[in-house]
Amino acid sequence: MPPKPANPAPAAEFEYCEVCRYNHDQGRRHRYMRKHREELDAVVTRFRSKLSDLRRALLHGAPSSQPPRPRLWCPFCSVDLDSRSACGNAIYHLASGEHLKGVKDFLRKHGGAMDQVESLRISEDGLAKWEKVSKSLSTEAKKGTEGLIGPSLKPTKDIQNESTCDNLDSFSQTNFPSLSNTASYVVMPLQSPTNGEYHPISTACHVASSLSSALYATPCETLRPPITPWGSAETHKLQGAPPTNWFHSSGPETKCHQSTIIANGASPSISCSVHVRFRTIKIQQSDAGGNLSNGIGYCCSKANVHTGAPPPWLKANEYDPENFSIRSCGLFSSRERKLRKLNPKRVGAAWAERRRAEMEMEKRGEIVPETSDSNWLPNFGSVWQSGTRKESRKEFEKSHKLHDTKSNHELALDIKPYISKRMICSFLLQRLGVDKASDKDGGRPGVSAEEQLWRGPIDGFPCQAVSGMQMLGMPSKALTTQAAVAFLGTKH
């Protein structure tokens, strides 16, 4: 008898699941647990959102000095990418084969779908693109930030050094060469480490760069765009005038302020919108002349609070659909939150929802508010109520209608003085002065005058009586017997 296969170990080994963060003895079954799958989904989506931020920065060619996230933990390789101190390293890691292997291992171990590997790493194309952009940007930034003090390599984020670039000195020296239109050879401070190879700048180049330096250094109010307060900007908008947007107007100073926003690290939406313009500027500048890219870098580093540049929040004068949508979303969410707090089982909850939607639509003018519904009544439980409150309303409406018709009937039967036909006849004859003798001539043959009178067109009403009533102003349409009697009674 062959020995029975050994049972699986009674107490399976405990294993730590780094996704769920606890020890379990469920073995390979664990990865199919609902909780584990939810956790895995959460981890992957969290990482993906961080990665998308990074990608956005990558696409826009953000300088490596500005990491899009303060921290980035790679859950697949268990590496804190922030600890490597630069965003560039994070990007290199995410594009590396090591990371790819880590992602694959992680997904295999925790039971994720393998088709999402590509969405969890950065492709080589993206890396190459980013490298190209960041290289050009970093050279410009370097040239701009490393000023007169020397070729010492400082961290690019050093704001203090950026602000102390001796612009004021240069301003006093340059003395607005471009404005006075004297393209003289003014000695410019060194903008970048030249390693001893300092070539005198060409005239055009010199004018442009000195102009830019003057613009940034100057405290002069004529060159600086006036800082428009919120209110005035709003009124401009309301009047339908073109927005007084300094960022749209052409000219060197506006370009510089645009780049200010980039340098100050504005919110992603703003920097995104500005970046396009930044590129266009770059093209213009490179058209102008060889060394002018230096000027851009210089501008980027210089325009800040010390040089009187408008703060980035004034940028919001411009219509920004993203900002707007965020604001409206905020309002909506607060209202939603308020509504969500209410008990969904409260009295008339469904009715309130419907009515609220109706009111919204009425406010927007999509539907016409009901004003003609005069028979509307709310539900009301009467004292002797049995059944729903709607029933009591229906009963009331029914009885109300009955009551109405009854009261109408009573009103109609109200006036009933008895007047004999003979009396009417004699009255009319007297009134109209009808002569019996004259009737004999015009009357029908073989019928007495009185008899002829009685054969009227309506209900045997006398013809003369009808005509007489028409004379009195009574329409013949309304000549029912009862009405005529009533009429006569009142007239009499």
Partner 1 sequence: MGSALLPTLRRKAEVDATIRDTLDKVLVLRFGRAADTSCLQLDDVLAKSSWDISKFATVALVEMDSEEIQVYIDYFDITLVPATIFFFNAHHMKMDSGTPDHTKWIGSFSSKQDFIDVVEAIYRGAMKGKLIVSCPIPPERIPRFQLLFKDI
Q: With beta carbons less than 8 A apart as the criterion, state whether 177 and 191 touch.
A: no
Q: Which of 359, 432, 472, 478 binds partner 1 (CB under 8 A)?
A: 359
Quote the tokens at residue 307.
Answer: 């040089």
Q: Is 410 in the site for partner 1 (CB under 8 A)?
A: no
Q: Which of 85, 184, 202, 379 binds partner 1 (CB under 8 A)?
A: 379
Quote the tokens at residue 308.
Answer: 């009187």
Element (H, E) at 17: strand 15-17
3-class DSSP state for residue 299?
helix
Q: In whole angstroms, what separates CA 208 from the centre of its chain?
A: 43
Q: With beta carbons less than 8 A apart as the criterion, state whether 489 and 419 touch.
A: yes
Q: Is 342 in the site for partner 1 (CB under 8 A)?
A: yes
Element (H, E) at 23: strand 22-24
Q: Is 371 in the site for partner 1 (CB under 8 A)?
A: yes
Q: Which of 355, 398, 416, 491 binds partner 1 (CB under 8 A)?
A: 355
Q: Which stretch binds partner 1 (CB under 8 A): 9-17, 106-114, 355-363, 438-446?
A: 355-363
The whole-angstrom separation of Cα 209 and Cα 200 is 13
Pick 152 or 371: Cβ nearer partner 1? 371
Quote the tokens at residue 457.
Answer: 């067109």
Q: How far is the CB of 336 from partner 1 (least distance, A)?
A: 14
Strand partners, 373: none
Strand 22-24 to strand 73-74: parallel, antiparallel, or no bridges (unpaired)?
A: unpaired
Q: Is 343 in the site for partner 1 (CB under 8 A)?
A: yes
Q: Which of 396, 427, 454, 487 binds partner 1 (CB under 8 A)?
A: 396
Q: Is 345 in the site for partner 1 (CB under 8 A)?
A: yes
Alpha helices in 114-251 (DSSP H): 124-145, 159-163, 167-174, 203-217, 230-238
Query: Site size for partner 1, by CB under 8 A?
Result: 27
The whole-angstrom separation of Cα 209 and Cα 199 is 15
Q: How far is the CB of 73 from partner 1 (least distance, A)?
A: 45
- Which string of x and - marks every residue 92-131 that binds partner 1 (by CB under 8 A)? ----------------------------------------
Q: Which of 42, 305, 329, 377 binds partner 1 (CB under 8 A)?
A: 377
Q: Which of 12, 179, 220, 352 binds partner 1 (CB under 8 A)?
A: 352
Q: Which residue has the tokens 């009396």?
A: 423
3-class DSSP state for residue 9?
coil
Q: With beta carbons less than 8 A apart as the criterion, state whether 492 and 427 touch.
A: yes
CB atoms within 10 A of CB 467: 14
Pick 32 or 380: Cβ nearer partner 1? 380
Q: Which of 71, 400, 406, 492 binds partner 1 (CB under 8 A)?
A: 400
Pick 363 or 477: Cβ nearer partner 1? 363
Q: Which of 348, 387, 417, 457 binds partner 1 (CB under 8 A)?
A: 348
The whole-angstrom separation of Cα 52 and Cα 82 is 17
Q: How far is the CB of 217 from partner 1 (least distance, A)?
A: 58
Q: Which stretch binds partner 1 (CB under 8 A): 163-171, 314-322, 366-374, 428-436?
A: 366-374
Q: With beta carbons less than 8 A apart as the criterion, state whether 53 and 44 touch.
A: no
Q: Which of 45, 276, 380, 412 binds partner 1 (CB under 8 A)?
A: 380
Pick 268 or 381: Cβ nearer partner 1? 381
Q: With beta carbons less than 8 A apart as the criterion, state whether 428 and 465 touch.
A: yes
Q: Which stretch binds partner 1 (CB under 8 A): 116-124, 318-326, 343-351, 433-441?
A: 343-351
CB atoms within 10 A of CB 85: 10
Pick 280 or 385: Cβ nearer partner 1? 385
Residues 6+ apart with CB under 8 A from 348: none
Q: Is 346 in the site for partner 1 (CB under 8 A)?
A: yes
Pick 45 or 399: Cβ nearer partner 1? 399
Q: Which of 29, 135, 248, 356 binds partner 1 (CB under 8 A)?
A: 356
CB atoms within 10 A of CB 287: 8
Q: How far is the CB of 367 from partner 1 (least distance, A)?
A: 14
Q: Can you give the binding site for partner 1, defined by CB under 8 A? A: 342-343, 345-349, 351-352, 355-356, 359, 371, 373-374, 376-383, 389, 393, 396, 400
